[in-house]
Amino acid sequence: MTFAVVYSRALVGVAAPLVRVEVYLASGLPQFSLVGLPDTEVRESRERVRAALANCGFRFPQRRITVNLAPADLPKQSSRFDLPIAIGILAASDQLPTSDLGTHEFVGELALSGELRSVRGALPMAMAAGGQQHRFVLPAASAPEGTLAGGAHIIPAVHLKDVCHHLSGGHRLEPLPAVTPVMPEYPDMAEVYGQRQARRALEIAAAGGHHVLMLGPPGSGKSMLATRFPGICPAMSDEEALISAAILSADGENLCLEHWRRRPFRHPHHSATLVAMTGGGLHSRPGEITLAHGGTLHLDEMAEFDRPVLEALREPMETGVISISRASRKTTYPARFQLIAAMNPCPCGYRGHPSGRCHCSPQQVQRYLRRISGPLLDRIDLVVEVPALDSRELHPGVAAESSARMRRRVEAAAARQQRRQGQPNARLEGSALEEALGLDAESRRFLGEAAQRFALSARAIHRVMRVARTVADLDGTGRVALPALAEALNYRERLKDFW
């Protein structure tokens, strides 16, 4: 036999398209040609495969070898094609049977000794292979991650010889069982003293999927509140957890298998670049907003971020996706995150502090606040003040409410939303939003007067309506009444300082 086909997977964002590794042995002077848009890592596989086959006792064909990675218009990256190329050469040279090749897919980097090394993106590739009902052979170091895909048959291998024995019918490799998830633990809200209004705002945000901006001096508890926010959010669904884990896998981050259902919490430094935040680079890797998908993007000291970095958040906050266009291709990543931002009320941070230590002029304060653009502020649902704590609040007689109690109310409100419209309130639009609110004539008149008084845009009005719906869900009421609208409007009243 002079021709063999082996199946593998590429990685484009969090998608893993099928790749046919076609190997053809022809007469002529010994030569090894690799075609099909391989990058440098893939082209270097020729030497790794040659050495691995020799060190495993196999014969490297002294013929004209052509390896085609199809489809040819799909760029191929990474060393994951080492294993399928080696299997294809062995099959085409009659050193391996071909009977099982059509039901298997292979991914793995080869050491010169023939050992298999871990690869990036095992989970999204396993998810795609499971959809085709293929057995997926992975390096043993990456295989546990692949079992999160559920329906896939993940076969771990330590060495090239193990894979060859498996295909030859000698020692068959056994599939790995699925990983049993552990309930994730988060920092507890009970550790945060005071800040009743901020806790209420975060509870509303968790229940409806809203974005929050906290304003307050240093040391008032903004960061503590933000880091405890994931602990009051509803538990991740199977789909949310799987997509979140697949994103981390595609980025090559260390994925803790026991806590893979833990909601992401990303807190980039204010010096983060545009590419670090949105994604991109040479191989279009996901950025912070994609890594926060299904969880929280915490921007501490929001006003210190570069303006282009903040402006890049606007579209993903609305659509839940981000498209990265490069000269060679366009990659679309999910980016459905919740923004929990925090900033000081002035350059020195102490405007309104009881100590009176702030000496910032009104012009300095305005320049500082206007680092956040109007269009971005328009997309933030709740703006809440986090004032400095009184010394008596640091030693309360009664413990603060725990995350577990807050989460029970949040989950009950989220369940009402799922029964009513099948999605969080933050994503309601058009007629679905109007129907969910059920406003009477008095409430509509109140909302109209408030929109004129606060000069609210159409987007801002809709965000007020969504927050009011969440307030009503937390209170267990079916129709949105005046108190819910008034509370929702109160969370936008602080924005007047920005203009």
What tens digit of pLDDT does each residue of 237-253 get? 888 999 999 999 888 87
Looking at the predicted structure, is the pLDDT value of residue 77 above 90?
no
pLDDT of 267 over the 70 cut: yes
Give whole-number Cα distances, 41 to 12, 142, 245, 247, in Å. Answer: 16, 19, 25, 22
Q: Where are the alpha helices (DSSP H) in 56-107?
A: 82-92
Domain(s) of CATH 3.40.50.300: residues in the chain: 189-423
Residue 258 has pLDDT above 90, yes or no: no
Q: What is the pLDDT of residue 329?
A: 73
The phi and psi torsions of 435 (rounded to 5 degrees) equal: -70, -40
Residue 499, pLDDT > 70, answer: no
Q: Which CATH number fits domain 3-168: 3.30.230.10, 3.30.930.10, 3.90.1300.10, 3.30.750.24?
A: 3.30.230.10
Locate CATH 3.30.230.10 in the chain: 3-168
The fold for domain 189-423 equals: Rossmann fold (3.40.50)
Q: What is the pLDDT of residue 327?
A: 64
Q: What is the pLDDT of residue 152?
A: 74
Can you tell me the distance from the alpha carbon of 471 to that of 207, in angstroms, rounded to the nearest whole number?
Answer: 9
Distance separating alpha carbons of residues 70 and 20, to the nearest angstrom: 5
* Terminal-residue alpha carbon distance, the chain: 76
Q: Are 154 and 123 a contacting pair, CB within 8 Å?
A: no
Band the pLDDT of 498: cuts 50, 70, 90.
confident
Q: What is the pLDDT of residues 411-430, one digit of tens each?
A: 999 999 999 999 999 999 98
| Model confidence pLDDT, tens digit, residues 204-236 | 999 999 999 999 999 899 999 999 999 999 999
Q: Where are the beta strands (DSSP E) in 247-320?
A: 265-266, 279-280, 285-286, 296-299
